[in-house]
Amino acid sequence: MTRAIKGALVECDASIRALIVRIDSERHDVVIQELDETHLLIDSNKVDFVKAELNRLLSKNTYNPLDDEEIQP
Amino acid sequence: MASNLFKLTVNDYLEGLPEATQSKLYQSPATCLAIFRLLPNLAKFYIMTMIFNEKPVRLLDLDTWVKPQKRAEQVEGIRSIKSLHILKDNGEVAVLNPKFRENLKNVLTGVDIGVSFGAPCETEDSNKVDISFLDTYASNKWETILHFMVGTELNEFPSKGVLHLLRHSGLMTGGTPKAMVITNEGFQFLLQDVNAQIWTLLLQYLRMAESLQMDPVDVLNFIFMLGSLELGKDYSTSVLSETQLNLLRDLKDYGLIYQRKDSSKRFYPTRLATTLTSDATTLKSASTAMSQVIKSATTTTTTSSNKGNTSGSQESSSTAVSAASSTIENAGSIIIETNFKLYAYTNSPLQIAILNLFVHLKSRFANLVTGQITRESVRKALLNGITAEQMIAYLETHAHPQLRKTAEEVYQKKIQYDANTNEKFHLIQPNITDQIKLWQLELDRILTWDGYLFTDFSNEEEYQVLQSYAEEIGVMLWCDHNKRKFFVTKEGNAQVIAYANRKLRKGK
């Protein structure tokens, strides 16, 4: 039977898609369906949460030159 | 409104006025001269050629005066004077607006110009002020406004009129002076040069004036008159109309005009006012240096990027160097290294405040601030609505001459090595500009749409019918034929479901 599932379509590159899937792997309430390489269907109430999480994860991977200096005496 | 705030120049404003208003403007010789000064060069050339020619000129002749390869400039020049209704043609011959022609002729030959260029005071001012006083006064007033916008702690706030205009033009929001905060448009406003800033505010003022039933012709005449006054001289208020006297009071708040007392019968235009319609530079201050450098840098970068990879690039680079060196004395102050460290030789609190918008500033010395461009600092600016392009443009226009010189040398070497190189001239190291742009892209790494996923179709036909319908009405965002799934927008969902009910029920 045909169904229409409510959600938010996410378009992103593969690396970001992997990150979103990882976010979901801890709580299982974000991703509804994995569509293809660059698309995901996620819970539309979780869009802001996903964006915030992504920001957090991506900032971890960036080098912040100021951190180094604060360690120095 | 606010987004095209800065694109709208005074020329556009004038061109947009109804013809009747324009004709009224041409009654004033000073206005004619000011408009003439604002025109593109080729438009000036046409007017000059036709002004002492009593007979109409054939349109075909207009073409022969200009080299074919400059056709674009010619079209632009003619378009501008046509939309100002200075040039009129009937398809064959062209004539100048008679009033405009007569008045401009009078201005040039110096006869019968009346008081439209202001009435100098007959008597000596007992409290005479000199030019340097006026300059300090004007820059104080103007920078107070800019400082207020960037949120510097101030002893006194700009006047009510200024605050109202800032709010009205969407540069700032908030009720009380203390609670007012700068908007995205405001940030972009700060990155303009002084002249553009003043015009932006004046045009806003004009719009407000229209709604207050002030005659725009009166206002414009006064503004253009200011543009032709002489700095350091005092002028009498006796020839001004009631509207213009009101305007005079308002313009004092912006530092365009100095009056010792409100009741004074004389006023002094400041440099901000007298340079309104000219290319000459305004105040000797940080913001002036800014505007100067912006001007020279925009011309040099356009020449070098236009000619880019042709053999003419060497020539253009050398003109760029000379243009750059001519601005050395009061020019740019920013050195940025490939490691994102930034040094700015400035002591202007305003420039520091602007830098602080997108640079993590670390230490400040007497004539130098140092800082670092970081992901965080750029993101903060991006979230405030400053674009990567604006930041890069700011860095480029304020680049230290040394930085420019080095970049030129590097570019020269590349050309010598390979004359056909496609490499463009980079004033700022490409790794810096690219990174700033990347940080901008990073902000929107994912695109999301709310909607519905249609799935679990029982047969191929059903899928085909609905999918092609959704695609046709333009609500489908994604589909996968193999898995028989497609995604429609929230808005389109109802339509697709209704269609599905109609089609598929009927089939059963």
Model confidence over B82-134: pLDDT tens digits?
888 888 888 788 888 888 988 888 888 877 666 667 777 777 777 778 888 88
Residue B435: its pLDDT value, please?
92
Whether complex ipTM tops 0.85? no
Q: Quick check: B370 pLDDT over 90?
A: yes
- Asked whether the predicted pLDDT for residue B309 surpasses 50, the reply is no
How confident is the model over B16-28, as a mean pLDDT? 87
Confidence of residue B371 (pLDDT cuts 50, 70, 90): very high
Query: Global pTM?
Result: 0.56
> Could you tell me how far CA B311 lies from the centroid of its own chain?
32
Higher pLDDT, B324 or B241: B241
Among the partner-chain residues B445, B446, B452, the one whose CB lies closest to the CB of A4 is B452
Q: At a CB cut-off of 8 Å and minimum separation 6, what does B353 contact?
A: B147, B150, B151, B152
CA distance B453 to chain A (A): 5
Q: Do B448 and A16 touch (CB under 8 A)?
A: no
List B167's β-bridge partners, or say none.
none
Average pLDDT score over residue span B262-283: 73
- DSSP 8-state secondary structure symbol assigned to residue B399: B
pLDDT at B12: 81
Q: Strand B93-96: give its sheet, edge to edge.
A: B57-58, B93-96, B87-89
Which among A1, A8, A33 has the least Cβ separation from residue B448? Answer: A8
Read off the pLDDT of residues B149-198 as tens digits, 9 standing for 90 and up.
Answer: 877 777 777 888 888 888 888 888 887 777 787 777 787 777 766 777 88
B449 vs A1, A4, A9: nearest CB: A9
Structure-token match 């009435």, residue found: B119
Give contacts of A68 with chain B, Cβ < 8 Å.
Answer: none
Whole-angstrom distance, CA of residue B374 vs CA of residue B359: 7
* Spatial separation of the C-alpha atoms in residues B31 and B22, rounded to whole Å: 10
Residue A56 contacts B, CB cutoff 8 Å: no
Q: How far apart are CA B256 and CA B244, in angstroms?
A: 14
The torsion angles phi and psi of B269, rounded to 5 degrees, stand at -75, 145
Q: Summarize the confidence of residues B321-345 as an average pLDDT.
A: 66
> Residue A20: its chain B contacts at CB < 8 A?
446
Question: Dihedral (C-alpha) B189, B191, B196, B197: value to the nearest 10 degrees?
Answer: 50
Question: What structural domains does chain B harbor?
Answer: 2-109 (no CATH), 131-296+306-327 (no CATH), 334-443 (no CATH), 451-507 (3.30.70.2610)
Q: Judge contact between B53 and B248, C-beta under 8 A.
A: no
Residue B293 has pLDDT above 50, yes or no: no
- Collect all residues of chain B within an 8 Å Cβ-Cβ radius of residue A6: 451-452
- Could you give the CA distance from residue B361 to residue B310 in angstroms, rounded to a whole number? 40
Task: Find the CB nearest A36 among B452, B466, B480.
Answer: B480
The answer to whether residue B299 scores a pLDDT higher than 50 is no
To the nearest whole Å, the CA of A29 is away from the closest chain B CA by 17
Asked whether residue B303 carries a pLDDT value surpassing 70, the answer given is: no
Q: Please write the tens of the pLDDT for every residue from B432-452.
A: 999 999 888 887 778 888 999
The yes-or-no verdict on residue B343 having pLDDT over 90 is yes
Question: Is A19 within 8 Å of chain B by CB?
Answer: no
Q: How many CB atoms lie within 10 A of CB B41?
A: 9
